[in-house]
């Protein structure tokens, strides 16, 4: 038993050494633009990243960037999956914060990116609270914020609560607050960003080519190739781009809707989403 444990520790130590060697040898990415996709959980950041990664000038990380670096604490590790607003003191960073090791983050991300491409894309929902910090430390940083109907998002966050941490999912009021507060921080901080472009999930789902070409214009790139006939693997579902709001909202009870209105009504109003009766 002790021998097995020793071999396991030795393998882990060797793996850590090899990782450090790889990071040290990796060149620091120097793209024309760093692009950060930000928005609340369940708002379409994964879909948007997958779509943008089809552009010939763009390389997008294959998963959320905060999972690829050891410089950011993860919501899952803290027992608050999809609920970073419970610890704003940890997740929020601005230009006055020293924060983590910038060079290391770039190298860790660079190991998973095609550095021949001029535009490098990262997406992590908690980064909605770090845009001002990224603007200071990442050259020519551009930000694309995506928002989605709060009823659908709150339902999704509640339903997808990690059973290891949240046995029956998050209460709907907490999920609604995660949506409202994360968007509030993102939109307020966007006023201090040099390059910020906002889209709606609903517009992306209904007219993906048009929305992507607006993004291309924002980034100074040629138009996207025709993606109308392509399917995309999003959260284990391989399908064309579709608006999934109706199926999510259908799962909400009247009490759920009333709670969302009470908790997040101010953000529904700010973003122009009609309140449902409840």
For 76, the 3-state DSSP assignment is coil
Please state the φ and ψ torsions of residue 133, each to the nearest 5 degrees: -70, -45
Q: Is the pLDDT of residue 12 over 90?
A: no
Q: Is the pLDDT of residue 238 over 60?
A: no
The ranges assigned to domains in the chain are 32-228+237-271
Q: What is the pLDDT of residues 28-53, one digit of tens each?
A: 899 999 999 999 999 999 999 999 99
Dihedral sign (CA 248, 251, 253, 256):
negative
CATH class of 32-228+237-271: alpha beta
Q: What is the pLDDT of residues 164-179, one digit of tens each?
A: 656 678 999 999 999 9
Please state the φ and ψ torsions of residue 242, each to the nearest 5 degrees: -135, 150
Q: What is the pLDDT of residues 255-275, one digit of tens each?
A: 999 999 999 999 999 999 999
Q: Which residues are registered as beta bridge partners of 121? A: 35, 60
Q: How many CB atoms lie within 10 A of CB 7?
A: 10
Q: What is the pLDDT of residues 97-150, one digit of tens each?
A: 988 999 999 999 999 999 999 999 999 999 999 999 999 999 999 999 999 999
Q: What is the pLDDT of residues 19-29, one digit of tens each?
A: 676 776 678 89
Q: How many CB atoms lie within 10 A of CB 246?
A: 10
Closest CA to 65 of 146, 126, 142, 156: 126
């Amino acid at each position: 038993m002790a021998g097995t444990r020793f071999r396991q520790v030795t393998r882990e130590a060797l793996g850590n050494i090899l990782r450090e060697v790889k990071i040290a040898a990796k060149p620091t990415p120097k793209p024309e633009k760093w692009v950060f996709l930000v928005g609340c959980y369940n708002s379409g950041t994964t879909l948007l990243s997958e779509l943008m990664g089809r552009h010939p000038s763009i390389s997008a990380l294959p998963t959320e960037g905060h999972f690829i670096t050891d410089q950011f604490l993860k919501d899952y590790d803290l027992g608050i999956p999809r609920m970073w607003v419970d610890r704003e003191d940890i997740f929020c960073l601005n230009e006055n914060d020293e924060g983590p090791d910038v060079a290391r983050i770039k190298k860790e991300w660079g190991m998973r990116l095609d550095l021949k491409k001029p535009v490098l894309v990262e997406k992590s929902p908690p980064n909605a609270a770090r845009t001002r910090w990224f603007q200071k430390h990442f050259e020519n940083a551009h930000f694309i914020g995506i928002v989605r109907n709060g009823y659908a998002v709150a339902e999704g966050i509640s339903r997808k609560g990690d059973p290891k941490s949240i046995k029956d999912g998050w209460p709907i009021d907490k999920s609604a607050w995660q949506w409202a507060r994360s968007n509030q921080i993102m939109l307020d901080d966007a006023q201090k960003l040099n390059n910020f472009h906002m889209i709606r999930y609903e517009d992306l789902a209904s007219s993906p080519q048009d929305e992507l070409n607006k993004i291309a214009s924002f980034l100074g790139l040629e138009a996207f190739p025709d993606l109308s006939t392509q399917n995309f693997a999003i959260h284990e579902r391989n399908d064309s781009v579709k608006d999934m709001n109706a199926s999510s909202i259908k799962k909400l009870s009247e009490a759920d809707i009333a709670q969302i209105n009470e908790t997040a009504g101010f953000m529904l109003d700010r973003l122009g989403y009609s309140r449902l009766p409840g």
